[in-house]
Amino acid sequence: MKQNTEKTQIKVCPLCSSEDIMHYGKTKDYFFTQEEFSITKCQQCYFVFTNPVPKNLSAYYNTPEYLSHNTKNGGIISKVYSFLRFINIKRKYNLISLYCKKGNILDIGSGTGELLSYFNKNGWDTTGIEPNENARKFSKINYNIEVYNENKLDDFGLKSFDVITMWHVLEHVPDLHKRLSQISKIIKDNGTLVFALPNLNSPDSIKYKEFWSALDVPRHLHHFTQQSFEKLISYHNLRLVHAEPMKFDSYYVSMLSEKYMKNKFYYFSAIYNGFISNMKAKKNNNYSSMIFVVKKDI
């Protein structure tokens, strides 16, 4: 399915604003449209980003297969996604509890609201930001969670939240510095920011190259490493205090990547390659997806 939408050429690095950018490679939107996209790399800070990008990005999310917005049970991949989400919610709760036992949490990119529902049941005040209207409605109807569109970010008061999370969301955000500026203002001085991101330096990224499903162009506008993430947050007086892996992600990413390569036995290959990726990543804590805990540098 071709979108044939107009595209915007990015002329400066979204991270450091350097004009010294060069073509890095090509891949496809294997997930939805099969359309080819180019990827660019900054020669100054080495940040990697999708370029050019469609002007109508929302069209590339307009499929029931986009699982964080999906309110229905689907096939095997959807069931695997839901199972991993269930396991990860408790893990995320336990991680955040190390930094804040209870308070108010803002989840940006809250999807259908399962994470916030879990926090709410455990006594937290919860607020969500979610661009997708159907996902917002689902959160309200099923969990009674207040979820707003992205414009609401400018309405919150200074130092409003104890915790702000963005689980696999920052890579979708068109203006990185605007978003970091917004959340830096509304997080409390002693508050905690938590980001989850795919890792371009991971062993499975290196193995699958242009078929690596976590490239997910054009929905993923930016392709982070820990180094590029730390550089980004440094512009906003934020610092990394902890990094840990999301080990299950290597299996899910490998499963999709093998499927994109048209491997009929992608389930079995995914188990093997996900395991190998995690074993290789142990050496440098360089896993398929990483969780970064961030604090204000005050």
- What angle is formed at CA 125 by the lines to CA 124 and CA 129, rounded to 5 degrees? 120
pLDDT above 70 for 78: no
- Phi, psi (deg, nearest 5) at residue 83: -65, -45
- Closest to 19 measured CA to CA, from 55, 52, 44: 44
**Termini Cα distance of the chain:** 49
Mean pLDDT of 254-283: 96
* pLDDT tens-digit map of 172-186: 999 999 999 999 999
Mean pLDDT of 108-121: 96
Question: What pLDDT, on a 0 to 100 scale, did the predictor assign at position 71?
Answer: 47
Mean pLDDT of 205-211: 98
Percent of the chain with pLDDT over 70: 93
Question: What pLDDT, on a 0 to 100 scale, did the predictor assign at position 169?
Answer: 98
**Which pairs from 267-274 meet CB under 8 Å and 24+ separation?**
267/76, 273/204, 273/207, 274/204, 274/250
Tell me how far apart the alpha carbons of residues 66 and 256 are, in angstroms, rounded to a whole number.
Answer: 13
Would you say the pTM of this structure is higher than 0.75?
yes
Mean pLDDT of 49-65: 91
Question: What pLDDT, on a 0 to 100 scale, did the predictor assign at position 143?
Answer: 95
pLDDT above 50 for 67: no
User: How many other C-beta atoms are found inside a 10 Å radius of the C-beta of residue 258?
Assistant: 23
- The CA-atom distances, in angstroms, between 20 and each of 17, 39, 41, 69, 89 are 9, 14, 9, 37, 40
Pair type for strands 21-28 and 104-108? unpaired
Q: What helix, strand, coil percent values describe the chain, rounded to 5? A: 40, 25, 35
Question: What pLDDT, on a 0 to 100 scale, did the predictor assign at position 64?
Answer: 75
* Tokens linked to 227: 């180094």
Tell me how far apart the alpha carbons of residues 175 and 180 are, in angstroms, rounded to a whole number.
Answer: 9
* pLDDT tens-digit map of 212-248: 999 999 999 999 999 999 999 999 999 999 999 999 9
* pLDDT tens-digit map of 238-267: 999 999 999 999 999 999 999 999 999 999
Mean pLDDT of 273-280: 98
Q: pLDDT category, 74, cuts 50, 70, 90? A: low
Question: What pLDDT, on a 0 to 100 scale, did the predictor assign at position 55?
Answer: 95
Question: What pLDDT, on a 0 to 100 scale, did the predictor assign at position 181?
Answer: 98
Question: What pLDDT, on a 0 to 100 scale, did the predictor assign at position 17?
Answer: 98
Residues 6+ apart with CB under 8 A from 54: 3, 5, 6, 7, 8, 60, 218
H or E stretch covering 42: strand 36-42
Tell me how far apart the alpha carbons of residues 115 and 91 are, in angstroms, rounded to a whole number.
Answer: 11
* pLDDT tens-digit map of 79-90: 666 777 788 899
Question: What pLDDT, on a 0 to 100 scale, did the predictor assign at position 63?
Answer: 81
More confident residue, 181 or 74: 181
Mean pLDDT of 59-63: 89
* Tokens linked to 206: 């290196």
12, HSE (Cβ side, Cα atoms, 13 Å): 6
Domains and CATH numbers, the chain: 7-296 (3.40.50.150)
H or E stretch covering 125: strand 125-129
Pair type for strands 104-108 and 125-129? parallel
Q: pLDDT category, 69, cuts 50, 70, 90? A: very low
pLDDT above 90 for 195: yes
Name the DSSP class of 5.
-
